[in-house]
């Protein structure tokens, strides 16, 4: 599979988004483990998770424990070489209403979540730790400073930020320096508010990870809203989700994708996008099909 760099890591251009294995509608444990094993068997080497990926009120860090179990039971290779990227600061606490998320960007909290994550994942240092979503009650530099302290203490090997605007990204870059390696934002054909962050990430030498990659494409009105995506997917005889990933990878060499999955078939399909090469004519048609950034 084609690989790309995230700081010190060479990862598959398509990696595994694990959130849907732990939130509402999640599959049973066996299918969840099989889904991760199928992805690793097919060559994926990065799993994206977060402390908050659980059903509200659930006491344990469901996604972390699941990933640990999947890695410990995988017989296809060296599971210690798999990059596990996690996040702190975005929570689903017992008091949250179903579906609601809350933010806590206090430095002490971000450090505590990192410590809990070390225990749940069973590692001495986190491969990659993101500040998940800005808490507007805490100066962004203070939250980023917590990640710098964790990095300097050797508890995280690299840092990331998520759901940021360009100003927040610049602050994080200034505070974290070389420890900052990646940005993760909502970005899809229907959601282009992060165009500027995609560009700035490249300028700063950071990887950019879009999430909800296929947002809207597979909806009932998808073919009407995104005609070129559906036409080209049909011509290539591939799924529109896979085409969306291939399109995102073509936006820059610094892009790495993390499609969501709750079953082996969908992640195995998504992983094929890493090696899809789109022609200039196809790219032009897709770029003309996405919603303008100002309307996203
Ligand atoms: N940083 C953040 O704030 C943030 C927020 C949200 C998500 N994320 C991360 O981004 C990842 C992706 O986001 P997401 O979970 O919302 O998922 P997504 O990529 O938007 O995918 C949603 C669903 O689409 C289906 N799908 C994806 N690729 C497919 C394919 N090739 N063929 C058929 N169906 C396909 C899957 O269905 P099945 O369930 O049927 O397999 C998947 O669950 C998450 O897992 C998480 O790690 C980060």
Confidence grade of residue 138 (pLDDT, cut at 50, 70, 90): very high
Confidence class of residue 92 from pLDDT cuts 50, 70 and 90? confident
Average pLDDT, the chain: 94
Candidate from 64, 128, 259 with most ligand 1 atoms within 8 A of CB, to mutate: 259
184 lines ligand 1 (CB under 6 A): yes
Centre of ligand 1 from the C-alpha of residue 86, in Å: 16
Residue 99 has pLDDT above 80, yes or no: no
Distance 154 CA to ligand 1 centre (A): 31
Is 242's C-beta closer than 6 angstroms to any atom of ligand 1? yes
Q: Using CA positions, which residue lies closest to atom 8 of ligand 1?
A: 211
How many angstroms is it from 261 CA to the middle of ligand 1?
5
List beta partners, residue 14.
Answer: 257
Whether the CB of 270 sits within 6 Å of ligand 1: yes
* CB 103 near ligand 1, within 6 Å: no
Split at pLDDT 50, 70, 90, the class of 174 is very high
Select the CATH number that applies to the domain covering 3-295 from these four: 3.30.70.141, 3.20.20.140, 3.20.20.100, 2.60.40.10: 3.20.20.100
Are 187 and 248 in contact by the 8 Å Cβ rule? The answer is: yes
Looking at residues 31-41, what average pLDDT do you find?
Answer: 98
Cα–Cα distance, 239 to 76 (Å, whole number) = 27
For position 293, what pLDDT does the model report?
Answer: 55
267 Cα: distance to centroid of ligand 1 (angstroms): 9
- Average pLDDT on 104-117 reads 97
Enumerate residues 6+ apart whose C-beta is below 8 A from 63.
Answer: 18, 19, 21, 22, 49, 50, 53, 54
CB 155 within 8 A of CB 118: yes
Can you give the residue ranges of every domain in the chain? Answer: 3-295
Q: Is the pLDDT of residue 107 over 70?
A: yes
202 CB-contact burial (10 Å; exposed 0-12 / middle 13-18 / buried 19+): middle
CA 192 to ligand 1 center in whole angstroms: 17
109 pLDDT tier (thresholds 50, 70, 90): very high
**pLDDT at 295 (0 to 100):** 46
Spacing, Cα 16 to ligand 1 middle (Å):
9
Q: What is the per-residue pLDDT across 214-269, written as a single tens digit (0 to 9) for each?
A: 888 988 899 999 999 999 999 999 999 999 999 999 999 999 999 999 999 999 99
* Residue 177 predicted with pLDDT over 70: yes
Count other Cβ atoms within 10 Å, centred on residue 180.
25
pLDDT of residue 167: 98
How far are the Cα atoms of 104, 106, 107 from residue 137, in angstroms, in the given order?
8, 9, 12
pLDDT tens track for 264-296: 999 999 999 999 999 999 999 999 988 665 544
């Amino acid at each position: 599979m084609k690989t790309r760099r995230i700081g010190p890591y060479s990862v598959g251009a398509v990696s595994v988004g694990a959130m849907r294995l732990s939130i509402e509608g999640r599959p049973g444990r066996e299918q969840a483990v099989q889904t991760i094993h199928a992805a690793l068997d097919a060559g994926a080497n990065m799993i994206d998770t977060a402390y908050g990926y659980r059903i509200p009120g659930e006491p344990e860090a469901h996604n972390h424990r699941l990933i640990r179990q999947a890695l410990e039971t995988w017989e296809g290779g060296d599971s210690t070489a798999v990059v596990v990227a996690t996040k702190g600061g975005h929570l689903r606490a017992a008091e949250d209403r179903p579906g609601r998320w809350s933010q806590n960007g206090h430095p002490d909290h971000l450090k505590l979540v990192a410590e809990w994550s070390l225990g749940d994942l069973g590692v001495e240092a986190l491969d990659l730790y993101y500040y998940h979503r800005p808490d507007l009650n805490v100066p962004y530099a203070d939250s980023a400073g917590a990640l710098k302290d964790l990095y300097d203490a050797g508890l995280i090997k690299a840092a990331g930020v998520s759901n940021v605007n360009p100003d927040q990204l610049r602050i994080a870059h200034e505070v974290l320096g070389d420890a900052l390696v990646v940005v993760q934002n909502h970005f899809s054909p229907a959601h282009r508010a992060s165009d500027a962050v995609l560009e700035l990430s490249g300028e700063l030498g950071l990887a950019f990870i879009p999430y909800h990659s296929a947002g809207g494409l597979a909806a009932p009105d998808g073919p009407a809203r995104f005609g070129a995506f559906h036409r080209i997917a049909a011509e290539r005889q591939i799924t529109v989700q896979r085409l969306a990933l291939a399109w995102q990878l073509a936006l820059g060499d610094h892009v790495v994708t993390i499609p969501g999955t709750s079953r082996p078939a969908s992640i195995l399909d998504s992983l094929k996008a890493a090696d899809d090469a789109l022609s200039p004519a196809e790219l032009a048609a897709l770029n003309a099909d996405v919603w303008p950034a100002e309307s996203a």
